[in-house]
């Protein structure tokens, strides 16, 4: 059966499956581990990066991923910066345990944290121009020594 299509469906994020050589998979995993982010986040960042860098009019997503991945070794630093821009905890220098007065989502894993939960409020040093809403993380996502 075909999946229903329509405006509602178009907004959903899609799951892409693509073949990658084993060595590339290892590389992606190693890189993601180093940055302490899920591989899927890394792949998404690489794709977004490829899309923004390249003229994608004639290039499909899979080609974009392959091409970007080929350059992974050389573009580590640039990608790292880019991922850090996406990092909801970038600029956070400390966490303080607080009790929620209203429900929020964990900034890292997105799990819903109801009012009354003990969570950790990210405190920014305010020097990097970080703006936006306060960030909270759940106990699981709290960095550990
Ligand atoms: Zn979390």
Between the CA of 29 and the centroid of ligand 1 the distance, in Å, is 21
Per-residue pLDDT reduced to its tens digit, 29-54? 887 887 778 888 888 777 777 666 55
**Ligand 1: distance of its center to the CA of 88 in Å?**
11
Query: pLDDT for 100-131, tens place per residue?
Result: 999 999 998 889 999 999 999 998 876 555 55
Per-residue pLDDT for 1 more than 60? no
Helix (H) / strand (E) element for 141: namely: none
User: Is 62 in contact with 46 (CB distance < 8 Å)?
Assistant: no
H or E segment and range at residue 57: none
Q: Cα(105) to centroid of ligand 1, in Å?
A: 8
136 DSSP β-pair partners: 121
Q: Do the beta carbons of residue 44 and residue 58 sit within 8 Å? A: no
């Amino acid at each position: 059966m075909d999946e229903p299509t329509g405006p509602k469906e178009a907004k959903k994020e899609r799951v892409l499956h693509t073949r990658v050589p084993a060595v590339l998979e290892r590389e992606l995993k190693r890189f993601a581990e180093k940055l302490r982010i899920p591989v899927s986040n890394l792949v998404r960042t690489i794709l977004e990066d490829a899309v923004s860098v390249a003229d994608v009019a004639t290039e499909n997503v899979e080609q974009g991923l392959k091409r970007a991945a080929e350059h992974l070794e050389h573009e580590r630093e640039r990608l790292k910066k880019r991922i850090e821009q996406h990092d909801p905890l970038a600029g956070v220098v400390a966490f303080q345990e607080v009790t929620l007065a209203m429900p929020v989502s964990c900034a890292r894993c997105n799990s819903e944290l109801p009012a009354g939960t003990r969570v950790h409020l990210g405190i920014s040093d305010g020097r990097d121009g970080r703006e936006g809403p306060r960030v909270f993380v759940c106990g699981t996502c709290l960095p550990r020594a």
